[in-house]
Structure 1
């Protein structure tokens, strides 16, 4: 049976117990990270961003809690035009102004990056989906096309599982101990992927970012807040929307995706039947997102 261990084997693993192949298993070297930039926003917060692609349309990508540009880029791999990826306050090299913060603050970050980049379409994952909902309450006609991936909360706070996961991650990052951070981050991986070359590669990337840039303590209060006070306010959004949920995901309950799809007048809901879709359904997920945004 495979188990998680840190640090990884020097040859990339995986290492298993019992009989079986034990030869070295090498993987491709990681590609160098693209250079990002810090942009000044009208509300005084400098945000880290990366712009890829060229031409129209322009799509802004908003990441999940404790994640960032690197984990959001795969969603835009097949999307046409220019793509703007950024880090919310408290993540990466973005500013961490005095808290506590709310989804309104996150919506301001998202709006500023979208406005500066001329984005007419938006993608939001988890926390980013909540920030996008909050922005749409204020400006329902801001975007022409919308994608919500694994929305985690709408008009009710996130569950205890999400709060515990974030608390554990913040505490581990604060220690600066790679092993402690890895123990928390590996929970993002489906069990079948852990202790594999692909799993180790993902862990290394996440640890490099988290231990280099850290996470702001101000993020701790966000799971206890709500993106919108009344989901009915989203009825004014007329743009076509794709809402993607996943059954069996305790951090991103499928009921939230269903509620959001019901609240948006022109939404299409797609629900995967098991968690870990970035690993188990990656090709289908990318194709689904790009086909919708490229229409």
Structure 2
């Protein structure tokens, strides 16, 4: 049987055991993380930010729960203009204010980063898509174009499976046990790629970031929150929107993507036929997002 194990092979490459090749292999290392900066927002929360590209238009990218900038960068690889990536509160080097956090707080983080950069377009992934929903419910004309990638929540709480996985990850990070963190994070990649150079590179990068920056305990309450209390609040959104979902993803139910597309007046829905889109359909996903934003 070929499966995942931690610690990694000493030569840095993937290792399979049982029948099959056993010679040492060279794993492709993850690219070094770029230099980021901390920016102070008008609401007093410092947020970690990365700006790439140049010129107009300016697009802001909002990541998912317990991930970060590295997870959203592939979504902007072919998007024209300036791209602004950031970490929500409690992620990376961003501040973790005391008290319970809601999607109103996340929308405030997103709005602040977008306003500081003069962003007219936005891409939200999972948690970031929910924050964008809350922001647009409050300010329907804030963005000229919007992409919602794998929305996870709208007007109903997330599933118990999401709460359990987040609690497991928070506990593992808090314990400082690298093997425990690796065990949880490895499930983010499809089984077919977990023991490949790309899979090991992803795993190393995620573990390095989590063990260095940690995750704030305040994140544990977010799965109990909803992005909007009533989908009718999105009826006034004027921007064309692209909503992307996929079948078979219990963390991001396709029903949420369908409901969001139905709630937005000018939305186009695309549903992939299997999960792990960034691994299985990266080229098509990149072209779809950039084609929509670059029009």
- 5+ residue gaps, structure 2: none
Aligned to 1:31: 31
Higher mean C-alpha deviation, range 8-17 or range 97-106 = 8-17
Supply the distance in 2 between the matched residues of 1:235 and 1:214 (Cα, whole angstroms). Answer: 38
- After TM superposition, the structure 1 stretch with the greater mean CA deviation from structure 2, 12-21 or 46-55, is 12-21
| Distance (whole Å) between structure 1 residues aligned to residue 142 and residue 152 of structure 2 | 22
Is this contact kept in 1: 2:124–2:147, CA < 8 A?
Answer: yes
After superposing the two structures, state which structure 1 stretch, 18-27 or 274-283, moved more: 18-27
CA distance in 2, matches of 1:53, 1:235: 33
Following TM superposition, by how much is the alpha carbon of 1:3 offset from its aligned partner in structure 2, in angstroms?
1.1
Shift of 1:11: 2.4
User: What are the residue-to-residue correspondences of 1:1-295 with 2, within 5 Å?
Assistant: 1-295=1-295
Paired with 1:58 and 1:27, the residues of 2 have a C-alpha distance of 35
Structure 1 position 31, deviation (Å): 2.7
Per-residue CA shift, 1:167-186, capped at 9, x if unaligned? 00100000011100011111
How far apart are the structure 1 equivalents of 2:259 and 2:196? 36
Per-residue deviation at 1:7?
1.0
Distance (whole Å) between structure 2 residues aligned to residue 164 and residue 137 of structure 1: 29
Give the conservation status (yes or no) of the 8 Å contact 2:13–2:28. Answer: no
> CA offsets, 1:126-177, max 9 Å, x none?
0000000000011000000000000000000100111011000100000011
Matches of 2:275 and 2:150 in 1, distance apart?
Answer: 10
1:21 is displaced (CA, Å) by 1.4
Q: Does the residue aligned with 1:236 lie in a helix, a strand or coil?
A: coil
SS of 1:90's equivalent in the other structure is coil
Aligned Cα root-mean-square deviation (Å): 0.9
Q: Deviations over 1:242-268 (max 9, x none)?
A: 000010000000000000000001100
Question: C-alpha distance in 1, partners of 2:17/2:113?
Answer: 49
Distance 2:292 2:214 in 1: 34
8 Å Cα contact 2:13/2:27 also seen in 1: no
Structure 1 alignment gaps of length 5 or more: none
| TM-score normalized by the length of structure 1 | 0.98
Structure 1 residue ranges (4+ consecutive) displaced by more than 4 angstroms after TM superposition: none
CA distance in 1, matches of 2:30, 2:129: 29
> For this pair of structures, how many residues does the alignment match?
295
Residues in 2 aligned to 1:24 and 1:217: alpha-carbon distance in whole angstroms: 40
